[in-house]
Amino acid sequence: MFDDYRDGSAWRTPLSFERLLLAVLAVFVVLAGAGCLVAPALFAEQAQFQANPSALTEIRAFYGGLQLGIGFFLLWCLRTPTHTIQGLSLVGLAVGGAGLARLFGLLFDDTPTSHHLSNLAIESVTVVLVAVALARSRRKQTAATGGG
């Protein structure tokens, strides 16, 4: 399965909009995860969470650990164009799902804060950029195979 990549040639794939976008998103997710892991109280304050020891541990685990794992997976996806598309698909689905859930919460729970609105804006822009990247990739693939 990994024999094709042992010589390092997969990392020499030309830089495309799709790979650049995934690289930026991967670094952002890794940095956000690391921040939540080492400084969960800052995240708790921004999100207006109660910063008790149980909440801080949950922030470290879910927002820190999960984001680190996803971020490292996204970095791994930079290896080939096919993996890049898989990584972008994960970002689109995960961030899109978070944005829809946030919108649902804003409609039914309480008055939105600047934290909620700024995150919703980031999520929306991310989903649009990922959709553009996936559409570009699909067009390139269709053109390369002569499909219509």
Task: List Cα–Cα distances, 24 to 12, 33, 69, in angstroms.
Answer: 18, 14, 16
Residue 6 domain flag: no
Per-residue model confidence (pLDDT) at position 1: 41
Residue 22 domain flag: yes
Which residues of the chain are modeled with pLDDT < 50?
A: 1-3
Per-residue model confidence (pLDDT) at position 35: 97
Residue 5 domain flag: no
- Beta carbons within 8 Å of 30's beta carbon, 6+ residues apart: 67, 68, 71, 72, 75
Per-residue model confidence (pLDDT) at position 113: 87
Structural domain tally of the chain? Answer: 1
What would the two tokens of residue 101 be? Answer: 């859930």
**C-alpha 79: how far from chain center:** 17
**pTM exceeding 0.75:** yes
Count of residues making up the chain: 148
Residue 31 domain flag: yes
Q: SS3 for 19-50, per residue?
A: HHHHHHHHHHHHHHHHHHHHCHHHHHHHCCCC
Instruction: Give CA–CA dist 45/112, Å, rounded.
Output: 15
Q: Which domain holds residue 72?
A: 16-145
Instruction: Give CA–CA dist 37/138, Å, rounded.
Output: 36
